Copies of this chain bind each other. A is one copy, B any other.
Amino acid sequence: MTTLTIAEAELLCERAIRSAGGSEQAARSLARQTVMAECFDQPNNGVVHLFDYLTSIQEGRIDGNAVPNITRPAPAMIHSDAGGGLAQTGFDIALEQLVAAARELGMAVFLQRNSYTCGPLGTFAWRLAKEGLIAFAGTNGPPLLAGSGSKDAVFCTNPMAFAAPQADGSPLLIDQSSSATAFANIRAAAHEGKSIPPGWAIDADGNPTTDPHAAMKGAMLAFGGSRGANIALMIEILSAGLTGANWGLDAPSYLSGHESPGTGMFVVAIDPVAIDPQFGQRLSAQLKRLSEGHGVHLPGISKGASVERSERNGID
């Protein structure tokens, strides 16, 4: 077993991305997020997932040399057409402008269309919270998830992320999909010959199933029934409808074929200091009260150690 520093890991990823045909900017942006996912203890979103990107560059689903077209359709809106390239590149180029706009106006939004899937969404929200901003983000992709009452998949897992800066410690981070479970859990149950709980999936005919094999031919279900499915619909409208990206139903696969999924994302940034310079202190006190006084499990807390590790190593 070899242990790499953050810098070594990033360099290794960058070289792999360059070799696959990615531009220097693409390599830097994707390598950064890949290593950040590892630091967040999300290995499935880290180096393992990088291989999907490398294959997709080679097979034409990602234009490794795309240059995002960043425009400013309105003072509080920064828009990126990723040109069939990576989602990460456009965000990295726009980040400084987004932070400045949020600080100047109180809030601003990054809206991107025409990209490959964006990887772990929480990383985008996290980076804004490290700048002292509250962030709310979402993204869409090719269909995996049934809508409320639908018989087949009409949305991707359509995750949302929320991050808020604290005076004490790392930002609060919520990073969750709109599905009842991760697809990997259904696949694992199939491998182990176990059944899956009701509420996770429907079969190819649109009927509820506890058979993981039938589930993999059907569609995943949203968390919490129609309320979760409504969240997926909201994320779809903001990340695809508002940005001008492909709706999930129109998005080519991100794992096969030669076309970009052409999907979208949004990241809202809000400056809490415009209202109250003590926001971070109040949030820290409140989260401590919820956690220590009432036993609330705060999202992201279990990842604390890794997140701190990433911070010590400059991944922020």
Contacts and interface: CB of A to CB of B under 8 A. Distances in A.
Interface of A: 73-77, 79, 104-109, 111, 134, 136, 147-152, 154, 162, 164, 172, 174, 176, 180, 206, 222-231, 233-234, 237-238, 241-244, 247, 249, 268, 270-272, 274-276, 279, 282-283, 286, 289-290, 294-299
A297 B233 contact: no
Contacts of A206: 295
Contacts of A230: 162, 174, 176, 299
A230 to B, nearest CB: 5
A226 B147 CA distance: 20
A148 B206 CA distance: 31
Contacts of A147: 290, 294, 296-297
A1 B134 CA distance: 51
15 contacts: A75-B106, A76-B107, A77-B105, A134-B237, A136-B234, A147-B290, A148-B298, A150-B294, A162-B230, A162-B237, A223-B227, A226-B297, A228-B228, A242-B275, A268-B268
Contacts of A149: 295-297
A274 to B, nearest CB: 4
Contact of A225 (B73, B134, B223): B223
